[in-house]
Amino acid sequence: MTDPVLSVRDLTVEIPTRGGILRPVDGVSWDIAPGEILGVVGESGAGKSMTGTAIIGLLDPPARIAGGSVQLGDLRIDTLPREALRRVRGRRIGMIFQDPLTSLNPLLRIGDQLSETILEHLDVTPTEARERAIAALEEVGIPAARDRIGSYPHEFSGGMRQRVVIALALCAEPDLVIADEPTTALDVSVQAQIMALLKRLCRDRGLAVMLITHDMGVIAETADRVAVMYAGRLAELGPVQQVVENPAHPYTAGLMASTPASGPSQRRLRQIPGAMPRLGALPTGCAFHPRCERAADRCRVEPGPKIDSCGGRAACWFPLDRTKDDAA
């Protein structure tokens, strides 16, 4: 077995408030191997982006990591001092954000932004940094990269700006890339191009990618494995084809039933009743039980089992591949 690039164990994030402590991330665990894309999916408020932010050490106070560990290769990064972690970000971890206009400085040419990142993290001369920046733009499909390196962000289309952001995330040759909703603001055809690009770079470079999205269609087309989150906890984890075609957690099944199928299909879309609970008003027991048609008395009292302790891939007392009598 190949050692994982990223190993997250029981990661917990807490936010102290006047009304008590909120846990937007609660006991999350997973590994990402070299060359693997792990898709992290769930509704808004599930804790996807907060998990990614915690991993790279960009939580805004008073939010803090309250438990667990984050291991990047042979280095534990959740306990690193701020300056040491800053050197890891960009060099060993790249970040692709949802809106490229917030990731790029509108006052600087893209070549200067790429070169600055390369010079910060790699031992190269300014001339070498410029050539690396041009090569990075070419790799992500920017036409006439040598001519466009002197352009400003506003001179690119939305899809081209996102390619520049991907080049910026990869130019220091990181081991891990965290992509947070990288295609949300793009047209469908451009979304497909960006995801195909990300898959190719992952395969060619052996990158580990954590892909955060709310779109199960993107996950099905792009990821190798999928982690489904609900109310800060991991609901299901498994190979993408298995999870998409045969979901074990009722929440995953609800996500799939509310996703339009590709190709000809006669099935009607179904919505999950209710809404994601607020962090300050989580129900007792399993957080999903008020919306779950399989909920039993046990679900209303006991939190769902953790995946690594229940011998399955779903944090559910009554997963869809078992009856309540079998699980009792």
Query: Which domain, by its residues, includes 70?
Result: 6-92+174-262+269-327
Same domain, 87 and 236: yes
Q: How far apart are CA 46 and CA 59, in angstroms?
A: 16
CATH of the domain at 17: 3.40.50.300
Handedness of CA 318, 321, 324, 328 (dihedral sign): negative
pLDDT digits (tens, 9 = 90+) for 42-66: 998 999 999 999 999 999 999 999 9
Q: How far apart are CA 222 and CA 241, in angstroms?
A: 11
Structural domains of the chain, count? 2
Token pair for residue 97? 């954000």
Maximum Cα–Cα distance for the chain, whole Å?
Answer: 69
pLDDT value at residue 158: 87
Does residue 300 belong to any structural domain of this protein?
A: yes
Contact 5, 73 (CB under 8 A): yes
Same domain, 205 and 84: yes
pLDDT value at residue 1: 54
Does residue 97 belong to any structural domain of this protein?
A: no
Same domain, 87 and 233: yes
> Of the residues 149, 173, 197, which one is the last residue of a structural domain?
173
Same domain, 155 and 202: no
Same domain, 200 and 119: no
Same domain, 116 and 72: no
Same domain, 138 and 274: no
Contact 10, 29 (CB under 8 A): yes
DSSP helix/strand/coil, 120: helix
DSSP string, 7-22: EEEEEEEEEEETTEEE
Handedness of CA 149, 154, 156, 159 (dihedral sign): positive
Does residue 67 belong to any structural domain of this protein?
A: yes
Same domain, 253 and 293: yes
Side chain identity at residue 118, one-letter code: I
Same domain, 244 and 153: no
Does residue 98 belong to any structural domain of this protein?
A: no
Token pair for residue 165? 């952001």
Q: How far apart are CA 296 and CA 210, in angstroms?
A: 34
Same domain, 230 and 319: yes
Confidence of residue 327 (pLDDT cuts 50, 70, 90): very low
Q: pTM (2 decimals)?
A: 0.91
pLDDT value at residue 308: 67
